[in-house]
A and B are shown apart, each in its own frame.
Chain A
Amino acid sequence: MEVLLYTILTLCVLGVLAAVILYFVAQKFRVEEDPRIDEVEKMLPGANCGGCGFAGCRGMADALVKRDDISELFCPVGGSDCMKAIAGYLGKAAAEKQPEVATVRCGGTCEKRPRTNEYNGARSCAVAASLYVGETGCAFGCLGFGDCVAACAFDAIHMNPATGLPEVDPDKCTACGACVKACPKMVIELRKKWPKNRAVYVSCVSKDKGAVVMKACKAGCIGCGKCEKVCAFGAITVTNNLAYIDPQKCKLCRKCVNECPTGAIKLVGMDPLPKEPKAPAAPKTAPAAAKEAAKEAPKAAPAEKSAKEVQKTAPAAAKEAPKAAPAEKPAKEAQKAAPQEPSHES
């Protein structure tokens, strides 16, 4: 009985002693922190993806509270809504950005871009890129070892084994930019996110000359400049043998898509314009409307009309109408003419 008593007493004394020590230690090492940091952290998405440039949401919250000017800070995951809410809470002015989505700009599938050698080193794009050209003859395109997949914290990018290229799930992608940073070839770009995940972009980053590109890949941009000429909005520029569509200027008119001789310009979420506008007869599969469209299509359609149509297709387009769009066909008619199922090229 005595033993039991002593045991219990000893334990109690030890417990109280430990509590006292812990209390004083906690007092001594307490860190005074702005309670708003906790609140802001709760308002952030909590993905800790690093897309804002900080190691995690806590760091971002800390910066948001402490800095007077937070216009430089932006959480790509939460987007403008999240930033607005936080700015409202803190009484500061928030940055506003349009939604973006990661876009893989390489069309060099296994079929289009034959493998010329076999890589046998560590499965990492960064390792392979520092060693040599890659498994294909293209020194610019996707290496296919999936550094972007490993970098994604949102399970939004996956390798397609059939093509050997990564594919972005636009609904999951938060545009945090982790894959952009992970890609040693700088194939991935954050581009403006259109409604219904529509997109038109040059799916190639090769700066090689046309002949070299053709040899390595059947789907590469050869820098011929046809798209640049056809673009009514000055959105396309060709530099270093490579066409680039400025997402801020592009209105998704899709004219460039048909011009591209190698199919390097990708169209997502929309039907292409019918091909061969100059041909008198429409394709057999097209409905009667297409024939009408083809007949009606004058060689120099009024610019206003085409611009109007374009604006319908792209509601977010800039208000300023193009001054001299050499449109050959009204977009609306074209949409009717085209097959109805959406294209899934990527």
Chain B
Amino acid sequence: MANKLIVAPAPHVQTSQSTARIMRDVVIALMPALVVSTIVFGVDVLRVTALSVAACVVFEFLIQKYVVRGPLTISNWSAVVTGVLLAFNLPASIPWWIVLIGAFVAIAIAKMTFGGLGKNPFNPALVGRVFLLIAYPVQMTTWPMPVNGGAFDALSGATPLAAVKHGLASPDALGVQDLLLGNMPGSMGEVAALALLVGFVYLLWRRVITWHIPVTILVTMALFAFVVALCKGESGALLWQLPLFHVLAGGAILGSVFMATDYSTSPMTVKGGVIFAVGIGVITMLIRLWGAYPEGMSFAILLMNACVPLINKYVKPKRFGVK
């Protein structure tokens, strides 16, 4: 034998599921939604997504190379994930320079200032999105219509959530089919509920995430809506239509599957994850029903992100042999 023996402490096997593979899987899981979104809103979707991804990767590269001067980690695909998620939270008609600003805020401020991947307390894409929403409210809430018109065109550019909020429509005005297929105005990536669910199943199959956080968020939201409907004295079909509408419309699925499950901004234990998810569900519904904004997913996730260190400190995993 020519070479020296290699020595290391046990274990001597390592998983093939590397950080890069996980991030790549997330990107793959987002692809069905990208395709549906392109069909609904046209090639603008691809343009915005490409710009956002490129900007995120370039910003991360520049910061690591010239500011942090640490090892380069753009090959781990995490900047790509941030780029796609940021794009999915924007309207397809957004001007290019706003995309650049959003990418800069997401990568430079929300991610790299904290030490990069794994150390950021808030989801970078959501920080970028919320920053843009507050800084450029007009551009961020001017929604393009689906190219083929859609069932909702009477509302001229309001998302279903906004329409319902402002009393322009009732939750049952939009068919479940349209909600599932994304045939409505809204952010690029959040309209296609069915495509996002396909991505969810893919992530579960690849063991990238567990079901706890997404399912808990959606169930919490549905229960909340159901109780509200009950209190309002609704009956019959509306009792289940309101919960279904809130789960399928807006960013509920995109947020719960892809944003709330972000590793570094979610708790480390299953129990903590459930607490975190219930918090997101409740805050989202509070904002949607009684807040100033029609959609509250982003704010809810960011607020609960802030609670994660606390949850990690106090919620410990169930220890073996401890009652």
Given the complex of chains A and B, what is the CA–CA distance between A321 and B7 in angstroms? 53
A118 touches B (CB below 8 Å): yes
For A119, the closest partner residue in chain B by CB is B7
Would A117 and B7 count as touching, CB distance under 8 A?
Answer: yes
Would B6 and A120 count as touching, CB distance under 8 A?
Answer: yes
A-B contact pairs, 25 of them (CB 8 A): A115-B4, A116-B4, A117-B4, A117-B5, A117-B6, A117-B7, A118-B4, A118-B5, A118-B6, A118-B7, A119-B7, A119-B8, A120-B6, A120-B7, A120-B8, A121-B7, A121-B8, A121-B9, A122-B9, A127-B9, A131-B7, A131-B8, A131-B9, A132-B7, A135-B7
Inter-chain pairs besides A118-B7, A127-B9, A135-B7, 11 sampled, C-beta below 8 Å: A116-B4, A117-B4, A117-B5, A117-B6, A118-B4, A119-B7, A121-B7, A121-B9, A131-B8, A131-B9, A132-B7
* Closest chain A CB from B8 CB (angstroms): 4
Specify which of B6, B7, B8 lies most central, judged by the most chain A CB atoms within 10 Å of its CB.
B7
Q: Which residues of B contact A121 (CB under 8 A)?
A: 7-9
Given the complex of chains A and B, what is the CA–CA distance between A224 and B9 in angstroms? 36
User: Considering the complex, which residues of chain B in the window 46-96 have a beta carbon less than 8 Å from any beta carbon of chain A?
Assistant: none
Q: Mark A129-146, 1 if CB is under 8 A from B, else 0.
A: 001100100000000000
Q: Which residues of A contact B6 (CB under 8 A)?
A: 117-118, 120
Given the complex of chains A and B, what is the CA–CA distance between A96 and B304 in angstroms? 58
For B12, the closest partner residue in chain A by CB is A120
Given the complex of chains A and B, what is the CA–CA distance between A150 and B16 in angstroms? 32
Binding site for B on A (CB under 8 A): 115-122, 127, 131-132, 135
Q: Which residues of B contact A135 (CB under 8 A)?
A: 7
Given the complex of chains A and B, what is the CA–CA distance between A32 and B7 in angstroms? 56
For A134, the closest partner residue in chain B by CB is B7
Given the complex of chains A and B, what is the CA–CA distance between A131 and B9 in angstroms? 6
Q: Which residues of A contact B7 (CB under 8 A)?
A: 117-121, 131-132, 135
Q: Which residues of A contact B8 (CB under 8 A)?
A: 119-121, 131
Q: Which residues of B contact A118 (CB under 8 A)?
A: 4-7
Q: Which residues of A contact B9 (CB under 8 A)?
A: 121-122, 127, 131
Q: Which residues of B contact A117 (CB under 8 A)?
A: 4-7
Given the complex of chains A and B, what is the CA–CA distance between A188 and B7 in angstroms? 25
Given the complex of chains A and B, what is the CA–CA distance between A115 and B3 in angstroms? 11
* Closest chain B CB from A145 CB (angstroms): 13
Q: Mark B1-28, 1 if CB is under 8 A from A, else 0.
A: 0001111110000000000000000000
Given the complex of chains A and B, what is the CA–CA distance between A262 and B126 in angstroms? 66
Given the complex of chains A and B, what is the CA–CA distance between A157 and B9 in angstroms? 27
* Closest chain B CB from A313 CB (angstroms): 46
Q: Which residues of A contact B4 (CB under 8 A)?
A: 115-118
Given the complex of chains A and B, what is the CA–CA distance between A333 and B78 in angstroms? 71
Q: Which residues of B contact A132 (CB under 8 A)?
A: 7
Given the complex of chains A and B, what is the CA–CA distance between A119 and B9 in angstroms? 9
Q: Which residues of B contact A119 (CB under 8 A)?
A: 7-8
Given the complex of chains A and B, what is the CA–CA distance between A117 and B7 in angstroms? 7
User: Considering the complex, which residues of chain B in the window 199-241 have a beta carbon less than 8 Å from any beta carbon of chain A?
Assistant: none
Given the complex of chains A and B, what is the CA–CA distance between A118 and B7 in angstroms? 6
* Closest chain A CB from B190 CB (angstroms): 40
Q: Which residues of A contact B5 (CB under 8 A)?
A: 117-118
Given the complex of chains A and B, what is the CA–CA distance between A86 and B200 in angstroms? 68
* Closest chain A CB from B126 CB (angstroms): 33
Given the complex of chains A and B, what is the CA–CA distance between A127 and B7 in angstroms? 12
* Closest chain A CB from B27 CB (angstroms): 31
For A130, the closest partner residue in chain B by CB is B9
Given the complex of chains A and B, what is the CA–CA distance between A196 and B7 in angstroms? 42
Q: Mark B143-160, 1 if CB is under 8 A from A, else 0.
A: 000000000000000000
Given the complex of chains A and B, what is the CA–CA distance between A262 and B243 in angstroms? 84
Closest 4 CB pairs of A and B: A121-B8, A120-B8, A117-B5, A121-B9
* Closest chain A CB from B12 CB (angstroms): 10
For A127, the closest partner residue in chain B by CB is B9
For B3, the closest partner residue in chain A by CB is A118
Given the complex of chains A and B, what is the CA–CA distance between A119 and B5 in angstroms? 9
* Closest chain B CB from A128 CB (angstroms): 8
Given the complex of chains A and B, what is the CA–CA distance between A115 and B9 in angstroms? 18
Given the complex of chains A and B, what is the CA–CA distance between A117 and B3 in angstroms? 9
Given the complex of chains A and B, what is the CA–CA distance between A116 and B6 in angstroms? 10
Q: Which residues of B contact A120 (CB under 8 A)?
A: 6-8
Given the complex of chains A and B, what is the CA–CA distance between A25 and B229 in angstroms? 48
Given the complex of chains A and B, what is the CA–CA distance between A131 and B4 in angstroms? 17
Q: Which residues of B contact A116 (CB under 8 A)?
A: 4
Q: Which residues of B contact A127 (CB under 8 A)?
A: 9
* Closest chain B CB from A114 CB (angstroms): 10
Given the complex of chains A and B, what is the CA–CA distance between A135 and B8 in angstroms? 11
* Closest chain A CB from B2 CB (angstroms): 13
For A131, the closest partner residue in chain B by CB is B9
Given the complex of chains A and B, what is the CA–CA distance between A120 and B7 in angstroms? 6
